[in-house]
Structure formats: structure tokens, C-alpha cells
């Protein structure tokens, strides 16, 4: 059974921009804890968060001989800390500053014996206020946060289906807290030229590790970063010749020359008679546009 419009809630960015920005910063606090604790994996995959049946999770992170994880629960609206020895703690997600969120989370971790040290300056945003100084972002609308998670859950389900068609190297479907988007990335198996970098508050060497291999990447993001509209996207690095002019026929899809990406507005998916089919069409068409023009060995890479 495929989804219907009722399964994809409205998510107008203007209605929850303040909550989105605050939640972005909260997720960076949690993500940087994962960055500090998890062993390095290629393309920084170890730093990502993952969609759950209730929100987002770090998944288990090592601490000494045990494990711990941190979960956003967007149904009960709580942040949960769970340890493998059975201990844990939690607090309510409600309007509070990034500074208060950071202090509360770090304090509770230390009370549980987890003394983690993070770099507190946000990444991939222009106006990067250190967490402990950020009293600006303090909005939390429970209904919109819940709707955002519902969109992530539906998007995750379809992206997992799309991922299953590929036999080659492929990322998990994961949520990057720097850019605040859910994505999955396919790899051709070939090296890529060094990325030019230039992403705000992210070292160029970090970006070059992320894009050290040729990729086609797709996903969902809620409209932050100046775009102002929830959308699905697909891009290629390096973008092959002719990629931007590829004849993508999925209704509502377009190539945004400013972003350098194919875009499918979220509302086009939500309003479709068969949202799953429309989104899968966009993902497949844009991947094929990159893979064909870059001469990927599709016979070997796909089911």
C-alpha cells in the first residue's frame, strides 16, 4: 500500500522557521556529541543521525566499555539519554534557548559519567553563534516539530526503497545535522577531483573527505539555508557535462541553477495522487541523468 496526501502533512517553512532554526541548532549539539564519540568512517558517515519510529537518534555511541545514545522523541517531545548499563535521563523539548539546551544536555551527560567535550561553534551556517552564547534561537512549536518528523519518516521510507535498487557502494539513509537534511548517496566507484569547499564554517578538508569519490546524492530538506521551501533534491559531484539540461519529466521537477541541483517541491509530492510513485520517479530520473552522462557502469551497479 502506498501513501496518500494525508500521510504527508503540510510543512510551510514560513510557519515554523523559528522552530526549524532552533531545532537545527539543537541537532548540532547532539550531532557534535556523536562526532566526538564515534570512530571516523569514510565521508563522515559516523556523525549522522537516523530516523526512528518516534524521531531522530544518534544510534549507539561508544563510551568506555559501554554504549550510550541520544534520541529526539517528537511524539512525546522529550530528549532521551540511554546507557547500555540500564541508566538514563530525559528532559522535555519545549521553548528554550540553544544555550539552555546545551547546558542541560551536557550537564545530564556528566551526571551520568559521560564527560564529552565538543566544539561549540555551529557548522554550515553563516551566523554561527556558539551554543553556550546562543540566546537568540529558543522557539519550539510541538505541532510543527511533529509534522517535520512525519515528513522525515515518509521520506525515509521512500529513500530506503530507492536505496534498495542499488548494488554498488551506497550510504545509509541518514540525517546530516550540519545541513539539516535527510539524504542517501550512491557512488560510481571512481575518485572525484578535490572539492572546492567554501561551505560556511566547515573546513575545506572536511568537505573534500565527504566528496572524495564520484557521487549522485538525493534527499529532503525543509527549506532552511535561504531557499525557503521544503523540497526534495538531487545533485551530482562532479556534475557531468549536460547534467543541468537533462530532460527530467517528473511533474513539478526543475533544475535550480543557483543551487546547482534538481529540485522537486515537497508540495508537489504531497499533492500527488500517488506521492511515493512521484518521488521515486524524481529520484530515479535525476540519478539516471547523472549516471548516464558520467558513464557509470550501471549494469554492474544496479539490480
The 10s digit of each residue's pLDDT in 16-75 is 999 999 999 999 999 999 999 999 999 999 999 999 999 999 999 999 999 999 999 999
**Same structural domain, 187 and 240:** yes
Residues 6+ apart with CB under 8 A from 93: 72, 73, 74, 77, 78, 79, 140, 142, 145
* Separation of alpha carbons 153 and 275, rounded Å: 14
Per-residue pLDDT reduced to its tens digit, 184-218: 999 999 999 999 999 999 999 999 999 999 999 99
Average pLDDT over residues 87-116: 98
Judgement on whether residues 154 and 82 belong to the same structural domain of the protein: no
Mean pLDDT on 260-289: 97
Last residue of a domain, one of 90, 105, 133: 133
Could you say which of 93, 109, 133 is where a domain stops?
A: 133
Q: What secondary structure does DSSP assign to 177-235, as a single string? A: TTTTEEEEEEEEEEE-PPP----TTS-HHHHHHHTSEEEEEEEEE-STTTT-S-EEEEE
Residue 1 located in a structural domain: no
Question: Is it the case that residue 225 has pLDDT exceeding 90?
Answer: no
pTM of this structure: 0.97
User: Within this chain, do residues 112 and 210 fall inside the same structural domain, yes or no?
Assistant: no
Q: Which residue has the cell 571516523?
A: 40
Domain hosting 263: range is 142-301
- Asked if pLDDT for residue 1 goes beyond 90, the answer is no
pLDDT on residue 5: 84
Q: What domain count does the chain have?
A: 2
* 3-state SS, residue 114: coil
Q: How many CB atoms lie within 10 A of CB 15?
A: 14
In a domain, 34, yes or no: yes
Residues 87, 211 share a domain = no
Backbone angles phi, psi at 182, to 5 degrees: -100, 130
Q: Which three-class secondary structure state does DSSP give residue 258?
A: coil
Whether residues 274 and 125 share a domain: the answer is no
pLDDT of residue 189: 97
What is the structure's pLDDT at 226?
A: 84
Residue 4 falls within a domain, yes or no? no
Residue 3 lies inside a defined structural domain of this protein: no
Which of 133, 153, 186 lies at the terminal end of a domain, its last residue? 133
Amino acid at each position: 500500500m502506498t501513501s496518500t496526501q494525508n500521510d504527508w502533512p503540510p510543512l510551510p517553512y514560513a510557519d515554523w522557521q523559528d522552530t526549524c532554526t532552533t531545532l537545527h541548532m539543537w541537532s548540532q549539539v547532539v550531532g557534535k556529541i556523536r562526532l566526538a564519540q564515534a570512530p571516523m568512517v569514510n565521508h563522515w558517515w559516523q556523525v549522522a543521525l537516523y530516523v526512528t519510529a518516534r524521531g531522530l537518534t544518534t544510534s549507539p555511541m561508544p563510551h568506555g566499555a559501554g554504549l550510550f545514545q541520544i534520541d529526539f522523541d517528537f511524539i512525546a517531545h522529550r530528549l532521551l539519554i540511554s546507557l547500555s548499563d540500564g541508566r538514563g535521563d530525559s528532559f522535555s523539548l519545549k521553548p528554550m534557548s540553544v544555550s539552555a539546551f546545551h547546558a542541560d544536555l551536557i550537564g545530564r551527560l556528566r551526571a551520568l559519567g559521560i564527560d564529552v567535550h565538543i566544539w561549540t561553534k555551529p557548522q554550515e551556517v553563516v551566523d554561527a553563534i556558539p551554543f553556550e552564547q546562543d540566546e537568540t534561537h529558543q522557539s519550539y512549536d510541538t505541532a510543527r516539530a511533529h509534522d517535520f518528523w512525519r515528513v522525515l519518516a515518509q521520506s525515509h521510507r521512500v529513500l530506503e526503497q530507492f536505496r534498495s535498487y542499488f548494488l554498488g557502494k551506497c550510504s545509509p539513509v541518514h540525517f546530516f545535522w550540519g545541513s539539516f537534511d535527510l539524504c542517501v548517496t550512491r557512488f560510481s566507484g571512481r575518485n572525484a577531483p578535490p572539492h572546492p569547499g567554501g561551505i560556511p564554517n566547515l573546513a575545506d578538508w572536511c568537505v573534500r573527505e565527504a566528496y572524495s569519490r564520484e557521487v549522485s546524492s538525493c534527499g529532503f530538506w525543509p527549506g532552511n539555508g535561504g531557499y525557503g521551501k521544503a523540497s526534495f533534491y538531487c545533485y551530482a559531484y562532479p556534475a557531468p557535462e549536460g547534467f543541468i539540461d537533462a530532460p527530467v519529466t517528473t511533474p513539478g521537477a526543475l533544475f535550480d541553477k543557483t543551487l546547482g541541483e534538481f529540485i522537486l517541491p515537497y508540495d508537489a509530492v504531497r499533492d500527488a495522487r500517488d506521492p511515493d510513485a512521484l518521488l521515486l520517479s524524481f529520484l530515479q530520473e535525476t540519478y539516471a541523468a547523472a549516471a548516464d552522462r558520467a558513464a557509470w557502469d550501471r549494469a554492474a551497479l544496479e539490480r
